[in-house]
Chains A and B, each alone.
Chain A
Amino acid sequence: MKDRRTAIPMISLFIIIIVVLIAAITGIQFPQYGTSISSSPIEGETNVSPTTCVRPAGYILIIADLGGFNDSISHGAPVNLWPIMRVNTGETLNLIVCNLDSTQPHGFAIDHYLPAGIPIRSGEAYKISFVAYDAGDFVIYCNIFCTIHVFMRGELIVG
């Protein structure tokens, strides 16, 4: 009986600690999400629509598959970012992103310009166009859960 009496406060205290811990972890994760949602593409045009995986003239083709973005795994991602795209400030960037991975969806997001990202299911392709008004180095990444999430990291350099 004594054991049970001491066990109850212990367990209750323990539950509270764990709940606080979980809340703290969630609190750390969610502001990032909130920020990314509120800072939708700020300047320039973003046009996202499903299309086929054929590269039109003037577009940069990005292929998402089990090799990462344009085979980023073999280019040393996540230590070395790949692909790296360079554009001048004020230039329009036209991208076509295809998911050729038949096993899972992938995400495509760009810091600052497309932080909310786009989930792209197997076999889907999206055209993305925007004007790169703000100079800087921006990370391109997969923003959904996939098995090669960590390796899908490229860079957009505007300057």
Chain B
Amino acid sequence: MKTRSKIVSASAQSIDRSNAVKWGMISLALSTSLVISVFPPFEPIDYLFVWLSSTVGLVPEAFILLSDLLMLCAGVLLAYAVHIFLSVTRLSPGLAYYAAKLGEIGSRFKVDGRLSLVAAAMIVVYWHLPLSLNATILSYPLHLLMNEMILFAGVLMFIGGRRLTGRNRHFITILGCKAMGIFGVYLLVTSGYSRFYDVYPLVQQAQLGLLMVVSMFAFEAVFIPWWLYSYFTKPEPNMAG
């Protein structure tokens, strides 16, 4: 009987492991696809941009918003994939040694995952300040650096998110949407007299602001009910895994 339960347990572990690897592979593939879609030499996302601007008349700033969201998603997915692979793979002794050393450093400085959320927010805000964004539009290498940094912000978001409970994760996401919406309202209100980004015509500022507000409502229409549902139905765990 004992042997049988051992076999069942081993088989369950193997299924879990293969499931985890499967999801890791899917995340890695998605993340890689998103990165390839935005970075040269192919930039297939440009085909979508051309189609959207010729059919819907979407303003160019909206594409920056879209590519930022894609890069954040790519960063989160990449981090998730690497996390899964590190969790299910046995590290070689050399790598395990350095991982332990890094862990010691982390413990000594009491690295808090939530700090990485703040760092991610700072990266995203920095690259959207008028001075930075204007420079990134007029310099393609700088624009690529911006995309890379936003990808990194996505990684930091994943690291920080792991330290939060499920409910808090939803809450932080809603806060992020709110921040985007408030910025959108600012662009909308100031579009009559003050140009925020010099490289784009003033008339487009209102359209971008409106798009941000609409995006906020769209995201919140999903996340707020989800948050409320988990708040009233699921018990809050101490720490999310």
Contact = CB atoms under 8 A, between A and B. Distances in A.
B36 to A, nearest CB: 12
Interface string A41-61: 000000000000000000000
A121 B199 CA distance: 7
Interface in A1-22: 3, 5, 7-19, 22
Given A32-B141, A122-B201, 17 more contacts: A8-B103, A10-B87, A12-B103, A13-B95, A13-B99, A22-B152, A26-B148, A66-B53, A104-B199, A105-B199, A145-B136, A145-B137, A145-B138, A145-B143, A147-B46, A147-B50, A150-B47
25 contacts: A3-B241, A10-B86, A12-B99, A12-B105, A13-B86, A13-B99, A14-B159, A22-B148, A26-B144, A26-B145, A26-B148, A29-B141, A29-B144, A66-B53, A103-B204, A104-B60, A105-B199, A107-B138, A144-B137, A144-B143, A145-B140, A147-B46, A149-B43, A149-B140, A151-B50
A68 to B, nearest CB: 9
Interface string B50-86: 1001100001100100000000000000110011001
Nearest to B64: A145
Contacts of A102: 201
A12 B139 CA distance: 33
A138 to B, nearest CB: 17
Interface of A: 3, 5, 7-19, 22, 25-26, 29-30, 32-33, 66, 73, 102-105, 107, 119, 121-122, 143-151
Contacts of B79: 14, 18
Interface of B: 42-43, 46-47, 49-50, 53-54, 59-60, 63, 78-79, 82-83, 86-87, 95, 98-100, 102-103, 105-107, 111, 113, 136-141, 143-145, 148-149, 151-152, 155, 159, 162, 199-201, 204, 241
Query: Helix, strand, loop or mixed for chain B's interface?
Result: helix
A24 B174 CA distance: 33
A7 B54 CA distance: 48
A8 to B, nearest CB: 4
Contact of A9 (B102, B137, B144): B102
Contacts of B151: 22
Contacts of A10: 83, 86-87, 99, 103
Nearest to B98: A13
A147 B60 contact: yes
B201 A103 contact: yes
A102 B60 CA distance: 11
Contacts of A104: 60, 137, 199-200
Nearest to A102: B201
Contacts of A29: 141, 144-145
Given A12-B106, A13-B86, A105-B199, A30 B141 contact: yes
B49 A148 contact: yes
Nearest to A103: B60
Nearest to A30: B141
A156 B201 CA distance: 31
A107 B144 CA distance: 15
Contact of B102 (A13, A33, A121, A146): A13
B43 A144 contact: no
Contacts of A8: 103, 106-107, 111
